């Protein structure tokens, strides 16, 4: 990236106002400036139907990912879950509902960044890159740090982080292709 492509921040010595010049830089999103409405209109222009569909797709991938067709047996084995225990299915509604809400938050965050970077409607490759960025940098990295301290098996990390990565990629593709 060339120096001229990097957002220029000009600090006025008397008022300490930040002036944001180039709109497509990520730095623009991170600077909280009372003179630029960055955080004030955070939810403006979001494509809510795309966010809902991305959330549903992410959730559907999880239904397949953790089913006997793909990784259910290995996942259950890594976690030492006794599926025949009387309390094994207790709280499933809260787990499913809670995971749906959290996936909605992830899809909304992807949509916010896509809108701020002005890549909504740019096509599937932009969505793939943005989703992979979120999946690796935020989801897989966080899961990985936790698993290191919790001393969980690498196979469990691959299953769970792989799901987060794929879910974010699919959500990113849906959000960035739907204009």
* Residue 149 counted as domain residue: yes
Residues 101, 33, single domain; the answer is no
* Residue 26 counted as domain residue: yes
pLDDT score recorded for residue 40: 55
pLDDT score recorded for residue 49: 96
Residues 117, 90, single domain; the answer is yes
> Can you give the three-state secondary structure of 108-156, one letter per residue?
HHHHHHHHHCCCCCCCHHHHHHHHHHHHHHHHHHHHHHHHHHHCCCHHH
Number of domains in the chain: 2
* Residue 133 counted as domain residue: yes
* Domain containing residue 13: 7-40
Residues 103, 20, single domain; the answer is no
* Residue 1 counted as domain residue: no
* Residue 2 counted as domain residue: no
pLDDT score recorded for residue 4: 43
- Show Cβ contacts of residue 136 under 8 Å, excluding neighbours closer than 6 positions: 165
Digitized pLDDT (tens) for each residue of the chain, 179 residues in all: 444 443 333 333 333 333 334 444 445 444 444 444 545 577 778 999 999 999 999 999 999 999 999 999 999 999 998 888 888 888 888 999 999 999 999 999 999 999 988 898 899 999 999 999 999 999 999 999 999 999 999 999 999 999 999 999 999 999 999 98
pTM confidence score: 0.76
Residues 72, 149, single domain; the answer is yes
């Amino acid at each position: 990236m060339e120096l001229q492509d990097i957002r220029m921040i000009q600090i006025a010595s008397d008022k300490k106002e930040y002036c944001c010049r180039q709109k497509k830089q990520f730095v623009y999103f991170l600077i909280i400036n009372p003179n630029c409405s960055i955080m004030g209109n955070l939810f403006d222009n979001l494509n809510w139907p795309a966010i809902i569909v991305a959330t549903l797709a992410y959730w559907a991938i999880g239904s397949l990912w953790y089913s006997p067709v793909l990784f259910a047996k290995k996942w259950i084995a890594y976690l030492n879950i006794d599926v025949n225990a009387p309390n094994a299915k207790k709280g499933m509604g809260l787990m499913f509902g809670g995971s749906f809400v959290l996936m909605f938050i992830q899809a909304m965050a992807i949509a916010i960044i896509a809108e701020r970077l002005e890549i909504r409607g740019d096509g599937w490759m932009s969505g793939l890159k943005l989703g992979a960025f979120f999946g690796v940098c935020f989801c897989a990295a966080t899961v990985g740090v936790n698993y290191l301290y919790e001393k969980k098996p690498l196979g469990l990390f691959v299953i769970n982080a792989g799901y987060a990565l794929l879910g974010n990629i699919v959500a990113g593709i849906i959000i960035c292709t739907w204009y």
